[in-house]
């Protein structure tokens, strides 16, 4: 068994850093708009906000090709958007319209955009882990050099499906990168009363998977870890699991704060807000003269326009027709000859 490692050296190029910053900003602004409009009661699906966790998808996706595949779970907006999937399709999906990426019948927890290589998200914990590993098995058998990235939370590592899939990926040296966003909670239950005192990334070695661990709110660190893991997977050197320390700012499900529930302290929240992946990166890039106020303003304007267009598109789209209700539930009846 190898122990998890952190990688200390190397930084993305100035252009990549700007792209990483813009990507995180875009996810943040999209979710802030969802939060602003959620109370209008037009988005009726359960919605898990990833504000505070934007560095993981940005740092990982920048290494991926379009044909590489991404799988995710309930908190998937960032994973979907950073992979280049359609913003219009996502917002229309949240509004339950027929132009949504799942035809308006899945909602926030069932995003999909096959053209972008975002193969799907599903809320049954760890369910997409096995599906992603299955796809990696196919890729290996067919000799494709695709990489499969599977995102999940710390809670999902308590599911048997995670261990079975990780073992299978390890023993068959599949081209998979498991990305565990450890935000310390499964709904309202803290990690320390759910799992023994060891790192999640240490589980990787037990399954023949390379374990990596890092600061999930430092997008440069995520970028470094993902580069190694994705190259390894692409070159046939087998799977990795990257454990990223991060934190969810909003309630488990929904647009609100939840400090009133008392399961986490104000001090803990303040500590993590201080480590905001976006504000932290903006400060570093400005100090290192890689980002100016003018570029920040330009990015905000461009993204705001894209968001407006996506919400207009969603709200002006039709709802799915009633006959679609059973369309994907029962097999189509075939004429018997």
Q: What is the end-to-end Cα distance of the chain in Å, rounded?
A: 59
Residues 74-93 that bind ligand TPP (CB under 6 A): 74-75
Output the DSSP codes for 26-54. HHHHHHHHHHHHHTTS---S-----TT-T
Task: Provide, rounded to whole angstroms, the least separation between the CB of residue 204 and ligand TPP.
Answer: 16
Q: Which does 156 bind (CB under 5 to 8 A by kind): Mg ion, ligand TPP, none?
A: ligand TPP
DSSP strand pairing (176-182 vs 185-186)? unpaired
CA neighbours closer than 13 Å in the CB half-sphere of residue 66 = 6
Task: Provide, rounded to whole angstroms, the least separation between the CB of residue 73 and Mg ion.
Answer: 10
> Which residue in 43, 55, 125, 209 binds ligand TPP (CB under 6 A)?
125
Q: What are the C-alpha distances in Å from 125 to residues 45, 151, 154, 162, 226?
A: 18, 11, 10, 9, 23
Angle between helix 219-234 and helix 277-287 axes, rounded to 10 deg: 100
Task: Provide, rounded to whole angstroms, the least separation between the CB of residue 56 and ligand TPP.
Answer: 11
118 is a contact residue toward ligand TPP (CB under 6 A): no
Number of residues in contact with ligand TPP under rule CB under 6 A: 16
Structure tokens at 312: 């207009």
DSSP state of 125: T
Task: Provide, rounded to whole angstroms, the least separation between the CB of residue 52 and ligand TPP.
Answer: 11
154 is a contact residue toward Mg ion (CB under 5 A): yes
Q: How far apart are CA 81 and CA 90, in angstroms?
A: 9
Task: Provide, rounded to whole angstroms, the least separation between the CB of residue 50 and ligand TPP.
Answer: 8
| Contact string 191-220 vs ligand TPP (x = CB under 6 A) | ------------------------------
- Helix then strand then coil, in percent of the chain rounded to 5, is 45, 10, 40
> Which residue in 1, 14, 114, 124 binds ligand TPP (CB under 6 A)?
124
Q: What are the C-alpha distances in Å from 30 to residues 53, 235, 283, 304, 329?
A: 14, 35, 21, 8, 32
Number of residues in contact with Mg ion under rule CB under 5 A: 5
> Which residue in 59, 107, 155, 238 binds ligand TPP (CB under 6 A)?
155
Q: Which does 136 bind (CB under 5 to 8 A by kind): ligand TPP, Mg ion, none?
A: none
Minimal CB distance to ligand TPP: which residue? 153
| Contact string 163-192 vs ligand TPP (x = CB under 6 A) | --------------------x-xxx-----
| Contact between residue 254 and residue 47 where contact means Cβ atoms under 8 Å apart | yes
Those residues whose C-beta lies under 8 Å from the C-beta of residue 76, and which sit 6 or more positions away, are: 48, 50, 108, 109, 111, 121, 151
Stretch that binds ligand TPP, among 146-154, 165-173, 208-216, 308-316 (CB under 6 A): 146-154
Judged by the rule CB under 5 A, the positions of this chain that interact with Mg ion are 153-155, 183, 185
Judged by the rule CB under 6 A, the positions of this chain that interact with ligand TPP are 74-75, 123-125, 152-156, 183, 185-187, 248, 252
């Amino acid at each position: 068994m190898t122990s998890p490692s952190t990688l200390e050296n190397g930084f993305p190029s100035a252009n990549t850093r700007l792209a990483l910053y813009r990507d995180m900003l875009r996810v943040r602004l999209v979710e802030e708009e969802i939060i602003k409009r959620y109370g209008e009661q037009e988005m009726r699906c359960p919605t898990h906000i990833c504000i505070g966790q934007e560095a993981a998808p940005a740092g990982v996706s920048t290494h991926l090709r379009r044909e590489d595949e991404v799988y995710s779970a309930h908190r998937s907006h960032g994973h979907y958007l950073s992979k280049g999937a359609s913003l219009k399709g996502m917002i229309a999906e949240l509004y339950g319209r027929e132009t949504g990426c799942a035809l308006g019948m899945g909602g926030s927890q069932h995003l999909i955009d096959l053209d972008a290589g975002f193969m799907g998200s599903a809320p049954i914990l760890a369910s997409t882990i096995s599906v992603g590993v299955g796809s990696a098995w196919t890729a290996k058998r067919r000799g494709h050099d695709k990489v499969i990235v599977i995102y999940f939370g710390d809670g999902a590592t308590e599911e048997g499906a995670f261990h079975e899939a990780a073992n299978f990926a390890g023993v068959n040296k599949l081209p998979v990168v498991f990305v565990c966003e450890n935000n310390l909670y499964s709904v309202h239950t803290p990690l320390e009363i759910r799992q023994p005192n060891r790192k999640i990334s240490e589980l990787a070695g037990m399954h023949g998977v390379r374990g990596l661990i890092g600061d999930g709110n430092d997008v440069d660190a995520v970028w470094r870890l993902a580069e190694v893991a994705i190259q390894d997977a692409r070159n046939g050197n087998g799977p990795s699991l990257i454990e990223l320390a991060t934190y969810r700012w909003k309630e488990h499900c929904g647009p609100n704060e939840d400090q009133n529930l008392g399961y986490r302290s104000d001090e803990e929240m303040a500590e993590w807000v201080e480590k905001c992946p976006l504000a932290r990166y903006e400060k570093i890039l400005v100090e290192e003269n890689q980002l100016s106020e003018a570029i920040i303003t330009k990015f905000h304007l461009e993204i705001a326009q894209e968001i407006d267009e996506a919400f207009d598109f969603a709200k002006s789209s039709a709802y799915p027709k009633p006959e679609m209700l059973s369309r994907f539930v029962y097999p189509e009846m075939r004429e018997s000859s």
